[in-house]
Each structure stands twice: as C-alpha cells, then as structure tokens.
C-alpha cells in the first residue's frame, strides 16, 4: 500500500542545508515531487500542506499525495521556469556590470524612456517557451510587458541575434530544472514567436499567465535588486505567484545596502552548498495559507522539488513606531514626499527601505519589512504584472494588500489595475494595515497628489 504522506526535514534558520548536488532526492514509494533531472520531464503528486516545529531547530514539511492539490503542476512548472530565468538574468547582469566584458547595445530605451535589455526579451521568450512546452501552446495565454516591435526593426539585427543566443544558452540548462531541451536550437522566428505569443489582454474570464520578465530593469542594469515575476490568474483572481530575486541577500541587514557592496563580499566569499549569501525564489498558491522560499540553483545542482523550501511569514510587528516601510527607488511614478509625511504622521521611526522592483513584496512576506506604500502621480496607471505575483505571496504569508481605500486589488480589468483608490498599501498584518489606511485618509486632503 502506498503511504499517503511523506515527511522531510529542512533547516528553519536563514541558511539552507547542503543540497548534495540537487536538493531532496524524491521518488520512493510515496511518489511525490520527482523531477527527472537527466532527460527533462516532470512528475508531481506533491503538496506542501503543513509546517510543524520539531526539535533541534528543524522544520517539518508534510507533503500529502492524497489531498486535492489544485495548481500543483502549474506551480512546479512556474517555479522551475523562474529559477531558469534567474540563471539567465544573472549571466546577463554580470556581463552588463563588467567593465571588461560588457557588450555595447545591451540596454535600450522604450517609447516611455524606460530601459529594456536583452535579458527582458530573453526571459520572456524562455518562460513563454517553457509554459507552452509544459501545457501545450493551445492552452497558454500570457500577459507580459515586452513586445517584438523594437526587435523587428531593421537596425535591431544585432540585438535580436544576442537575444536568440541568450535564450538558447539558457535552454541548454533546461534538464537541470526539470524540462526537456529543445530538439534543435531555437531560430530567430522561434524566439520572436515565443515573445509575441505573450499578447493576451487579460480580463475577468478564463486563465492567463502574467509575466514581468525583469521587474526593476533600472535596478538590474545598475547591478542592484530586480525580480522575475510570474503569476497565474483565473477568472480575475491571482491563484499562484512566483518571484525570483537573484540578488536578495540572505542577511536582512544587507537588504538596505546598495547591491554593489554585497556583490564585492559575495565575490570574496562565494556561496557553497553549505552556505548561502543571496538568491531566492518566493512562491505561494491562493488559499493555501503558506508561502515559501527556496534557494537559487548554483553550480551543477538540479532542481528537485521542493528544493530545500522553507516557509516564510510576515513580521509580527503591528506598532508603526517599530515598522520598516518600503517604497520605490525612483520618484518618477511615485511620491516620496507623501510617503514620508505619512510615515511621520503614524510614528514610523525607521529609515525607509528604498529598493527596486517587487523585491519590496518579498521583503514584507519574509518579515524583513512591514509596510509598502506606493502612491502614483496623476496619470500613471499601475500594471497588473507589477503586482500580481507579489500580492498573493504576501497574502499567503499572512499579510494584507489593498488599495488605499481598503479594497482588494482588481486583476480582472485587463492590463491595468483599473479603479485603484489612490495607491497600493501592503502591510505585515491587519492591525498595522488599518492604522496605515487611517493615516492615508487623514493626510490625503492636504496632499498634492
């Protein structure tokens, strides 16, 4: 008789145990969480359902193959795709910030003057290809930030060639992440098709994926924080989210440092299988009551589900005086002055944590910060890909995310968060959230937003 549950032990401290070249060796009689490392393919019957404390600082993760696990395959594929995308991004970022190896023309400007890199297009093509190979292209609808217009111009031949090479170099590594390598390398038309396939406009009915290939591109090109964000929306509701944060430091104190500082430390003392300094993937499923993080793969490791995952929870701080709040680094699409005034009015004493991208959502979910406030300037509309993955991760970690009126964010209106009341507020708990909402109401009439 097959045992319905399998139990494994992982460390509950801030450093993962040794993966022994690829995390937990699944399989066995229970049949949970097996990823075929050599030839690709993915078999899954697992569900991370419960966390129990045990002796000697261990955490017990209970996996049940007998319980209903909606979106289990989708989650595993999404985590694998984001892990692989993070590998791609790390390689491109290293090239960007290297004085000797940097390639001209890797950073470009879109029509709104925001930056885009070969990594943005390459990640979009890679994730699109993985999703279609895993579920069938006829079953996949994707909303994503980038399009092929710039790549299709006559003067973009060099850029497009770099994107094709980057995608193929990444897909060579596919078996490490549980996917099959393409039978032949993708050609230019294949890559353009994979990017252009991400043309869904979302909406209230049906299922679609939401991808931000590099959230925080400015941070990415500066060698700082950025995220790869992938979410699944069904009938207007975010049902799972995955955030890859390649530069997220394992030590909380380093999060507020400019990444160039701890990149130096990282190079002087690179991580081993026994010690990790940076790089996480965060993920959660709607209504599971759990949010998780796992380390990025390094070296020749293979992704064996759940890859030393550990549960994360929001901070228990509910007094604004002791809370840390996050806000965007750039002032272009948000008001630092209003956030600062609001922080003062509720007694926030800590310096704001200004960090690029949805890493802010990860910081709150992990308990490294308590409040994220973003109040857009007039005329700016929040896009769904900038929030979807982060929102579900915070909520399942025990936090609260709404607009400034206390309403849930609405992902059913297309590409934008239509009907947003003033701004977005994410907090580590309901009590803190209530205080912040009250402060917004009290301060709004005197603001210039």
Report the pLDDT averaged over residues 86-110. Answer: 70
Tokens of 283: 């993920």
Domain locations along the chain: 5-64, 72-312, 320-444
Nearest-angstrom CA–CA distance, 436 and 173: 45
Q: Which helix (H) or strand (E) holds 218?
A: helix 217-221
pLDDT per residue over 246-256, tens digit each? 999 877 767 76
Residue-wise pLDDT for 120-143, tens only, equals 999 999 999 999 999 999 999 999
Q: Between the ranges 161-170, 294-303, 328-337, where is the mean pLDDT highest? A: 161-170
Q: How confident is the model at residue 72 (pLDDT cuts 50, 70, 90)?
A: very high
* Active-site pick, 69, 117, 120, 224: 120
Whole-number pLDDT of residue 321: 86
Structure token pair of residue 323: 């809370």
pLDDT at residue number 193:
96
pLDDT over 80 at 229, yes or no: yes
pLDDT band at 353 (very low <50, low <70, confident <90, very high): confident
pLDDT the model gives residue 68 = 47
Provide the CB-side half-sphere exposure for 295 (13 A, CA).
29
Structure-model confidence comparison of residues 324 and 284, the more confident one:
284
Hey, what are 227's tokens?
């995220």
Q: Mean pLDDT in the chain?
A: 79
The CA-atom distances, in angstroms, between 85 and each of 88, 213, 309, 343 are 5, 8, 18, 36
Picking from 63-67, 197-201, 223-227, 319-323, which range would have the lowest pLDDT averaged per residue? Answer: 63-67
User: What CATH number does the domain located at 72-312 have?
Assistant: 3.30.540.10
Structure token digits, residue 378 = 């007039």
Q: What is the mean pLDDT of residues 367-379?
A: 87
To the nearest 10°, report the CA torsion of 99, 100, 106, 109.
30
pLDDT at 22 over 60: no
Of 222 and 393, the structure prediction assigns the larger pLDDT to 393
The pLDDT assigned to 269 comes to: 59
CA atoms within 13 A on the CB side of 392: 30
Tokens representing 61? 């993760």
**CB neighbour list of residue 188: distance below 8 Å, 6 or more residues apart:** 160, 161, 164
Residue 180's pLDDT band (cuts 50, 70, 90):
very high
DSSP state, 382?
-
How confident is residue 448, by pLDDT bands cut at 50, 70 and 90? low
What CATH number has the domain spanning 320-444?
Answer: 3.40.190.80
Q: Give the three-class secondary structure for 71.
A: coil
Residue 447's pLDDT band (cuts 50, 70, 90): low
- Reading phi first (left if > 0) and then psi (alpha if -120 to 50, else beta), residue 27 is in left
Range name among 89-103, 260-274, 308-322, 389-403 with the lowest pLDDT average: 260-274
Can you give the pLDDT at residue 261? 52
**pTM score, two decimals?**
0.82
> Is 403 an annotated catalytic residue?
no
Beta bridge partners of 416: 383
With 70 as the cut, is the pLDDT of residue 405 above it? yes
At 260 the pLDDT is 53
Looking at residue 30, its pLDDT comes to 30
Taking residues 250-268, report their average pLDDT.
61
| % the chain with pLDDT above 90 | 51
pLDDT score of 6? 38
The mean pLDDT value for 4-17 works out to 41
111 included as an active-site residue: no
The whole-angstrom separation of Cα 30 and Cα 45 is: 9
pLDDT at 67: 38
**Predicted local confidence at residue 388, as pLDDT:** 98
At residue 243 the predicted structure's pLDDT band, cuts being 50, 70 and 90, is very high
Buried b (16+ CB within 10 A) or exposed e, 277-291: bbbbbbbbbbebebb
Active-site pick, 217, 224, 324, 386? 217
What is the token pair recorded at 260? 């160039």
């Amino acid at each position: 008789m097959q045992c319905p549950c399998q139990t494994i032990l992982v460390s509950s401290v801030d450093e993962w145990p040794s993966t022994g070249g690829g995390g937990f060796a699944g399989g066995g009689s229970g049949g949970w969480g097996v990823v075929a490392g050599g030839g690709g393919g993915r078999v899954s019957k697992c569900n991370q359902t419960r966390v129990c404390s045990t002796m000697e600082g261990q955490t017990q993760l209970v996996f049940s193959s007998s319980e209903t696990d909606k979106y289990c395959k989708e989650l595993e594929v999404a985590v694998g795709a984001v892990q692989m995308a993070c590998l791609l991004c790390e390689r491109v970022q290293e090239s960007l910030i290297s004085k000797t190896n940097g390639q001209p023309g890797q950073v470009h400007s879109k029509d709104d003057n925001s930056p885009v890199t070969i990594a943005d297009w390459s990640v979009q093509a890679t994730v699109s290809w993985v999703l279609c190979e895993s579920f069938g292209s006829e079953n996949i609808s994707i909303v994503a930030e980038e399009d092929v217009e710039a790549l299709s111009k006559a003067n973009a031949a060099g850029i497009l060639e770099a994107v094709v090479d980057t995608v193929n170099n990444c897909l060579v590594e596919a078996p490490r992440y549980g996917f099959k390598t393409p039978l032949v390398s993708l050609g230019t038309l294949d890559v353009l098709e994979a990017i252009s396939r991400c043309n869904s406009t979302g909406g209230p009915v049906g299922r679609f994926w939401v991808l931000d290939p590099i959230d925080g591109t400015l941070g990415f090109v500066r060698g700082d924080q950025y995220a790869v964000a992938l979410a699944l929306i069904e009938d207007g509701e975010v049902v799972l989210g995955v955030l890859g944060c390649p530069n997220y430091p394992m030590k909380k104190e380093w999060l507020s440092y400019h990444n160039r500082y701890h990149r130096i430390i990282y190079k002087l003392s690179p991580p081993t299988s026994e010690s990790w300094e940076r790089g996480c993937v965060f993920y959660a499923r709607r209504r599971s009551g759990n949010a998780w993080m796992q380390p990025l793969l390094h070296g020749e490791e293979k992704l064996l589900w759940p890859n030393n995952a550990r549960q994360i929870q929001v901070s228990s701080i509910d007094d604004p005086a002791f809370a840390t709040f996050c806000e965007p680094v750039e002032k272009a699409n948000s008001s630092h002055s209003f956030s600062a005034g609001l922080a003062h009015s509720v007694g926030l004493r800590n310096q704001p944590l200004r960090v690029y991208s949805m890493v802010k959502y990860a910081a709150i979910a992990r308990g490294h910060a308590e409040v994220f406030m973003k109040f857009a300037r007039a005329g700016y509309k929040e896009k769904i890909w900038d929030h979807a993955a982060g929102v579900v991760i915070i909520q399942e970690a025990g936090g609260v995310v709404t607009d400034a009126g206390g309403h849930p964010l609405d992902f059913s209106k297309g590409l934008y968060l239509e009907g947003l009341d003033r701004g977005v507020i994410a907090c580590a708990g309901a009590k803190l959230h209530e205080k912040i909402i009250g402060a917004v109401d009290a301060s709004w009439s005197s603001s210039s937003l």
